[in-house]
Chains A and B, each alone.
Chain A
Amino acid sequence: KQEVTQIPAALSVPEGENLVLNCSFTDSAIYNLQWFRQDPGKGLTSLLLIQSSQREQTSGRLNASLDKSSGRSTLYIAASQPGDSATYLCAVNSGYSTLTFGKGTMLLVSP
């Protein structure tokens, strides 16, 4: 059974810092990995999707990497802003469109 772990559970940084969120998964036989953002009281917003054949994906200040063989992914946020404050969730697709989620990293960026 696929298990997804996210470290740290919470992170507080001053505005402007670059930061890295970590995600690890136990079964490397995946189709893709998706990073989501969740704001309080809201649903999930898809940020980046990395196919199993890819090593990284970039969108603006966000860069996600994938090392399938070691079961790891990172989400890099450059020049963090208070508006980046949210919970970031990693989800692994192991097939048949079903996602297994980590419990998330709660990020607070202080002005």
Chain B
Amino acid sequence: DAGVIQSPRHEVTEMGQEVTLRCKPISGHNSLFWYRQTMMRGLELLIYFNNNVPIDDSGMPEDRFSAKMPNASFSTLKIQPSEPRDSAVYFCASSLASHSNQPQHFGDGTRLSIL
């Protein structure tokens, strides 16, 4: 079975540019999570969706960040305009249900570098 699929795997762009990260969750999973990982802060939850609806976006750092889930099989995380401090690895994860006792399955991440 295909796992969580993220694209691109790597992104290098100049500050000020718009960046769009993409995620395809595991089929049948109805919860989707976006995380950011840095050396300093570790893994932090940015936002999560349940049945395509954003439930908690308190981790989104600034208005420059936005996330959408137009359907059950696709989500995007957008940064506009991007800044060097946004450089990190961004992970998408999905789980079977909104019930808290289901494990989360992670994609391989997008390594983002803002110059």
Query: Contact residues of A with B, CB < 8 Å?
Result: 31-32, 34, 36, 41-46, 49, 51, 89, 91, 93, 95-104
Contacts and interface: CB of A to CB of B under 8 A. Distances in A.
A31 B109 contact: no
B56 A43 contact: no
B100 A46 contact: no
Given A51-B101, A102-B42, A96 B106 contact: no
10 contacts: A32-B101, A36-B106, A43-B108, A45-B106, A46-B104, A89-B43, A99-B104, A101-B43, A101-B44, A102-B42
Contacts, number: 60
Q: Most chain-A CB neighbours within 10 Å: which of B44, B50, B103, B111?
A: B103
Contacts of A101: 42-44
Contacts of B43: 89, 91, 101
B101 A46 contact: no
Contacts of B44: 101
Contacts of A44: 91, 93, 106
Q: Which 6 A-B pairs have the closest CB atoms?
A: A43-B106, A31-B100, A101-B43, A44-B106, A103-B42, A43-B108
